[in-house]
Amino acid sequence: MENKTRPETNLKSLAITLLVGVIIWFIPTPSGVSGHAWQLLAIFVATILGLIIKPLPLGGVAIVGITMTALTGTLSISQSLSGFSNSTIWLIVSAFFISRGFIKTGLGRRIAYLLMARLGKSSLGLCYGISLADLILAPAIPSNTARCGGIIYPLLASVAKAYGSDPEQGTERKLGAFLIKSAYQVNMITSAMFMTAMAANPLAVKLASDQQIQISWGSWAIAAAVPGIVSLLTLPLLLYKLYPPQIRATPQAAQIAHDKLKEMGSVSTQEWVMLGVFVLLLVLWIGGSTLGIHSTTAALTGLAILMLCGTLSWTDIIQEKGAWTTLIWFSALVMMADYLNKLGLIGWFTHSISGSVNGLNWELAFLILALVYLFSHYLFASSTAHVAAMYGAFLSVSIAVGTPPMLAALVLAFFSNLMGSLTHYGSGPAPVLFGSNHVAMKHWWGLGLLCALVNILIWLVIGGSWWRVLGLW
Amino acid sequence: MENKTRPETNLKSLAITLLVGVIIWFIPTPSGVSGHAWQLLAIFVATILGLIIKPLPLGGVAIVGITMTALTGTLSISQSLSGFSNSTIWLIVSAFFISRGFIKTGLGRRIAYLLMARLGKSSLGLCYGISLADLILAPAIPSNTARCGGIIYPLLASVAKAYGSDPEQGTERKLGAFLIKSAYQVNMITSAMFMTAMAANPLAVKLASDQQIQISWGSWAIAAAVPGIVSLLTLPLLLYKLYPPQIRATPQAAQIAHDKLKEMGSVSTQEWVMLGVFVLLLVLWIGGSTLGIHSTTAALTGLAILMLCGTLSWTDIIQEKGAWTTLIWFSALVMMADYLNKLGLIGWFTHSISGSVNGLNWELAFLILALVYLFSHYLFASSTAHVAAMYGAFLSVSIAVGTPPMLAALVLAFFSNLMGSLTHYGSGPAPVLFGSNHVAMKHWWGLGLLCALVNILIWLVIGGSWWRVLGLW
Per-residue pLDDT reduced to its tens digit, A55-73: 999 899 999 999 999 999 9
Q: Average pLDDT over chain B, rounded to whole?
A: 92
Residues of B in contact with A273 (CB under 8 A): none
Q: What is the model's pLDDT at position B7?
A: 64
Identify the band that residue B5 occupies on the pLDDT scale cut at 50, 70 and 90.
very low
Q: Quote the minimal CA–CA distance from B44 to chain A in Å.
A: 16
- pLDDT tens digit string along B184-198? 999 999 999 999 999
Cβ distance A311 to B5 less than 8 Å, yes or no, reads yes
DSSP assignment string, A189-201: HHHHH-TTSSTTH
Residues of A in contact with B17 (CB under 8 A): none
Give the one of B78, B86, B300 whose C-beta lies nearest to A70's C-beta.
B300
Q: Quote the minimal CA–CA distance from B85 to chain A in Å.
A: 5
Q: Which residue of A has its CA nearest to B56?
A: A308
Q: What is the model's pLDDT at position A5?
A: 45
Residues of A in contact with B318 (CB under 8 A): 59, 321, 324-325
Residues of A in contact with B311 (CB under 8 A): 5, 7
Could you tell me which residues come within 8 angstroms of residue B19 by beta carbon, excluding any fewer than 6 positions away? Answer: none
Identify the band that residue A1 occupies on the pLDDT scale cut at 50, 70 and 90.
very low
Q: Quote the minimal CA–CA distance from A46 to chain B in Å.
A: 15
Cβ distance B64 to A308 less than 8 Å, yes or no, reads yes
Q: Which of A386-400, B380-394, B454-468 has the highest mean pLDDT?
A: B454-468
Q: Does the predicted model carry a pTM greater than 0.95?
A: no
Q: What is the model's pLDDT at position A3?
A: 43
Q: What is the model's pLDDT at position B4?
A: 45
Q: Is A163 helix (H, G, I), strand (E, B) or coil?
A: coil
- pLDDT tens digit string along A179-206? 999 999 999 999 999 999 999 999 999 9
Q: Quote the minimal CA–CA distance from B253 to chain A in Å.
A: 22
Cβ distance A82 to B85 less than 8 Å, yes or no, reads yes
User: Is the Cα torsion angle B383, B90, B429, B228 positive or negative in sign?
Assistant: negative
- pLDDT tens digit string along A260-290? 999 999 999 999 999 999 999 989 988 877 8
Cβ burial, residue B212 (10 Å; 0-12/13-18/19+): exposed
Q: Which one of A94, A107, A308 would you mutate to disrupt binding with B, by most B Cβ within 10 Å of its Cβ?
A: A308
Q: Quote the minimal CA–CA distance from B82 to chain A in Å.
A: 5
Residues of A in contact with B317 (CB under 8 A): 59-60, 63
| A39 within 8 A of B188, measured Cβ to Cβ | no
CB pairs under 8 A between A and B: 175
Question: Out of A225-239, B148-162, B393-407, B412-426, which region has the weakest mean confidence (pLDDT)?
Answer: B148-162
Cβ distance B81 to A82 less than 8 Å, yes or no, reads no
Give the one of A6, A60, A81 whose C-beta lies nearest to B314's C-beta.
A60
| A285 within 8 A of A218, measured Cβ to Cβ | yes
| B285 within 8 A of B218, measured Cβ to Cβ | yes
User: Is the Cα torsion angle A349, A350, A351, A356 positive or negative in sign?
Assistant: positive
**What's the rounded Cα separation, in Å, for the pair B196 and B92?**
7
Angle between helices A217-242 and A269-291 (to 10 degrees): 120
Cβ distance B307 to A60 less than 8 Å, yes or no, reads yes
Q: Which one of B271, B300, B328 would you mutate to disrupt binding with A, by most A Cβ within 10 Å of its Cβ?
A: B300
Q: What is the model's pLDDT at position B6?
A: 56
% residues pLDDT > 70 (chain B):
98
Give the one of A81, A83, A300 whose C-beta lies nearest to B63's C-beta.
A300
Does the structure show a pLDDT above 70 at B60?
Answer: yes
Cβ distance A81 to B87 less than 8 Å, yes or no, reads yes
- pLDDT tens digit string along A126-151? 999 999 999 999 999 988 888 998 88
Give the one of A8, A82, A318 whose C-beta lies nearest to B310's C-beta.
A8
- pLDDT tens digit string along B445-469? 999 999 999 999 999 999 999 999 9
B420-446: average pLDDT = 91
Identify the band that residue B92 occupies on the pLDDT scale cut at 50, 70 and 90.
confident
**What's the rounded Cα separation, in Å, for the pair A243 and A130?**
18
Q: Which residue of B has its CA nearest to A105?
A: B2
Cβ distance A313 to B8 less than 8 Å, yes or no, reads yes
- pLDDT tens digit string along A214-244? 999 999 999 999 999 999 999 999 999 999 9
Q: Which residue of A has its CA nearest to B83?
A: A85
Cβ distance B2 to A103 less than 8 Å, yes or no, reads yes
Identify the band that residue B431 occupies on the pLDDT scale cut at 50, 70 and 90.
confident
Q: Quote the minimal CA–CA distance from A304 to chain B in Å.
A: 5
Cβ distance B70 to A296 less than 8 Å, yes or no, reads yes
Q: Is B249 helix (H, G, I), strand (E, B) or coil?
A: strand
**What's the rounded Cα separation, in Å, for the pair B432 and B426?**
12
Q: What is the model's pLDDT at position B73?
A: 95
Cβ distance B308 to A5 less than 8 Å, yes or no, reads no
Q: Quote the minimal CA–CA distance from A298 to chain B in Å.
A: 8
ipTM of model:
0.86
Q: Average pLDDT over chain A, rounded to whole?
A: 92
- pLDDT tens digit string along B134-147? 999 999 998 888 89
**What's the rounded Cα separation, in Å, for the pair A372 and A293?**
37
- pLDDT tens digit string along A19-52? 999 999 999 999 889 999 999 999 999 998 998 8
Give the one of A2, A55, A325 whose C-beta lies nearest to B104's C-beta.
A2
Residues of A in contact with B8 (CB under 8 A): 310, 313-314
Identify the band that residue B427 occupies on the pLDDT scale cut at 50, 70 and 90.
confident
Cβ atoms < 10 Å from Cβ of A249? 10
Q: What is the model's pLDDT at position B380?
A: 85
Cβ distance B70 to A106 less than 8 Å, yes or no, reads no
Residues of B in contact with A1 (CB under 8 A): 103-104, 150
Question: Out of A438-452, B292-306, B350-364, B377-391, which region has the weakest mean confidence (pLDDT)?
Answer: B350-364
| B121 within 8 A of B143, measured Cβ to Cβ | no
Does the structure show a pLDDT above 90 at A382?
Answer: no
Residues of B in contact with A294 (CB under 8 A): 70, 77
A96-102: average pLDDT = 90
Q: Quote the minimal CA–CA distance from A73 to chain B in Å.
A: 9
Q: Which one of B317, B327, B339 would you mutate to disrupt binding with A, by most A Cβ within 10 Å of its Cβ?
A: B317
Using CA atoms, how far residue B307 sits from A424, B137, B287, in Å, is 29, 20, 24
Give the one of A73, A87, A314 whose C-beta lies nearest to B57's C-beta.
A314
B367-385: average pLDDT = 90
Identify the band that residue A458 occupies on the pLDDT scale cut at 50, 70 and 90.
very high
**What's the rounded Cα separation, in Å, for the pair B52 and B48?**
6
Cα A237 → chain centroid: 24
| B429 within 8 A of B130, measured Cβ to Cβ | no
Q: What is the model's pLDDT at position B158?
A: 87
Q: Which residue of B has its CA nearest to A300?
A: B67
Cβ distance B300 to A109 less than 8 Å, yes or no, reads no
- pLDDT tens digit string along A333-367? 989 988 988 898 878 887 787 777 777 799 999 99
User: Is the Cα torsion angle A311, A317, A318, A320 positive or negative in sign?
Assistant: positive
Angle between helices B201-210 and B405-418 (to 10 degrees): 160
Q: Quote the minimal CA–CA distance from A173 to chain B in Å.
A: 29
Could you tell me which residues come within 8 angstroms of residue B346 by beta carbon, excluding any fewer than 6 positions away? Answer: B210, B211, B340, B392, B396
| A160 within 8 A of A179, measured Cβ to Cβ | yes
Q: Quote the minimal CA–CA distance from A106 to chain B in Å.
A: 6
| A61 within 8 A of A47, measured Cβ to Cβ | yes
Cβ distance A70 to B296 less than 8 Å, yes or no, reads yes
DSSP assignment string, A87-125: HHHHHHHHHHHHHHHHHHHSHHHHHHHHHHHHHTTBHHH
% residues pLDDT > 90 (chain B):
72
Q: Which residue of B has its CA nearest to A316?
A: B5
Question: Out of A5-9, A111-115, B6-10, B326-330, which region has the weakest mean confidence (pLDDT)?
Answer: A5-9
**What's the rounded Cα separation, in Å, for the pair B303 and B309?**
10
Does the structure show a pLDDT above 90 at B419?
Answer: yes
Give the one of B3, B301, B311 whose C-beta lies nearest to A5's C-beta.
B311
Q: Quote the minimal CA–CA distance from B229 to chain A in Å.
A: 31
What is the helix (H) or strand (E) element at residue A186, kind and residue range? helix A176-193
Cβ distance B310 to A83 less than 8 Å, yes or no, reads no
Does the structure show a pLDDT above 90 at B44?
Answer: yes
Cβ distance B81 to A86 less than 8 Å, yes or no, reads yes
Q: Quote the minimal CA–CA distance from A189 to chain B in Å.
A: 26
